[in-house]
Structure 1
Amino acid sequence: GQNEAQKRIIDGDDVINQCQAPFNSVVNFIRVRGTTITELCTGTLLTQDIVVTSGSCVEAMNDNDLPTYFAVLGDKYYKQFDVGQPNNFPEQRISIAAVKLHPDHDATTDNENMANNIAIVKLASSAVLDEFCVQPMTRYDSFTDTSCRPFSETCRIYADVELTTNINVARFILAQNYSGETLVDGITMIATRLTDTFVGTCRYDFGSMVACLDDDGNYVLRGILSNHDKCGRAPPLTMIGQSLVDPGRPMYVVDVEMYKGWIDGCIANFNACAGSSPPADTKK
Structure 2
Amino acid sequence: MRMRFNTVLCVAGVLLLNLAGSFCQLDVCGRAPFNKKILGGSDATEGSWPWHVGITSTGQPFSVCGGSLINKDWVLSSAFCINIMDTSVDQIVIYLGRRSQIDPDPHQINRTVINVIKHPDYNPNTNDNDIALFQLSSSVNFTDYIRPVCLAAAGSVFDKGLSSWVTGWGYTNNGTLPNILQEVEIPIVSNKNCSIAYNGSGVTITDNMLCAGQLNDVFKGTCLFDFGGPLVSKQGSQWIQNGIMIMTYACYTKNIPGVFTRVSQYQDWINAHISNEKPGFVTVPYSTPTPDPNPTHDPNPDPNPTPYIPDIFSGSSPSLQLFPLSLTFFIFSLIFCLFI
TM-score by length of 2: 0.60
Paired position in structure 2 for 1:239: none
Amino acid at match of 2:182: A
- Work out which of the two has the higher radius of gyration on C-alpha atoms and give 1 or 2: 2
Contact 2:170 2:224 in 1 (8 A): no
1:234 is displaced (CA, Å) by 4.5
Cα gap change, 1:138/1:50 in structure 2, threshold over 3 Å: closer, same or farther? same
Amino acid at match of 2:267: K
| d(CA) in 2 for partners of 1:194, 1:180 | 12
Structure 1: gaps (5+ residues) = 1-7, 84-89, 236-246, 271-284
Contact 2:165 2:183 in 1 (8 A): no
Contact 2:44 2:180 in 1 (8 A): no
**Does 2:265 match 1:258?**
yes
Cα gap change, 1:152/1:266 in structure 2, threshold over 3 Å: closer, same or farther? farther
| d(CA) in 2 for partners of 1:213, 1:261 | 23
Identify the match of residue 17 of structure 1 among 17, 29, 45. Answer: 45
* 2:50 match: secondary structure: helix
| d(CA) in 2 for partners of 1:104, 1:68 | 25
| d(CA) in 1 for partners of 2:227, 2:139 | 23
1:172 is displaced (CA, Å) by 1.9
Contact 2:230 2:243 in 1 (8 A): yes
* 1:120 match: secondary structure: strand
Contact 1:82 1:91 in 2 (8 A): yes
Paired position in structure 2 for 1:232: 251
Worse overlay, 194-203 or 165-174: 194-203
Contact 1:201 1:231 in 2 (8 A): yes
Paired position in structure 1 for 2:238: 218
Amino acid at match of 2:52: V
Paired position in structure 2 for 1:191: 211
Cα gap change, 1:176/1:189 in structure 2, threshold over 3 Å: closer, same or farther? closer
When the two structures are aligned, how many residues end up with a matched partner?
Answer: 230
1:251 is displaced (CA, Å) by 1.0
Report % sequence identity.
Answer: 18
Q: After the TM superposition, which residues 1-284 of structure 1 pair with which residues of structure 2 at under 5 Å, given as runs?
A: 10-12=37-39, 17-20=45-48, 23-33=49-59, 36-60=60-84, 65-83=88-106, 90-107=107-124, 109-110=125-126, 114-130=127-143, 132-144=144-156, 149-161=158-170, 163=172, 164-175=176-187, 177-178=189-190, 179-180=193-194, 186-195=206-215, 197-214=218-235, 216-227=236-247, 230-235=249-254, 247=255, 249-268=256-275
1:38 is displaced (CA, Å) by 3.6
Q: Compare the two structures and name the one with the higher strand fraction.
A: 1
Cα gap change, 1:190/1:139 in structure 2, threshold over 3 Å: closer, same or farther? closer
| d(CA) in 2 for partners of 1:48, 1:116 | 24
| d(CA) in 2 for partners of 1:192, 1:166 | 22
Backbone CA RMSD of aligned residues: 3.0
TM-score by length of 1: 0.70
Structure 2: gaps (5+ residues) = 1-34, 278-340
For residues 58-77 of structure 1, the C-alpha deviation after alignment (integer angstroms, 9 at most, x for no partner) is 22456x62333210011011
1:200 is displaced (CA, Å) by 4.1
Paired position in structure 2 for 1:4: none
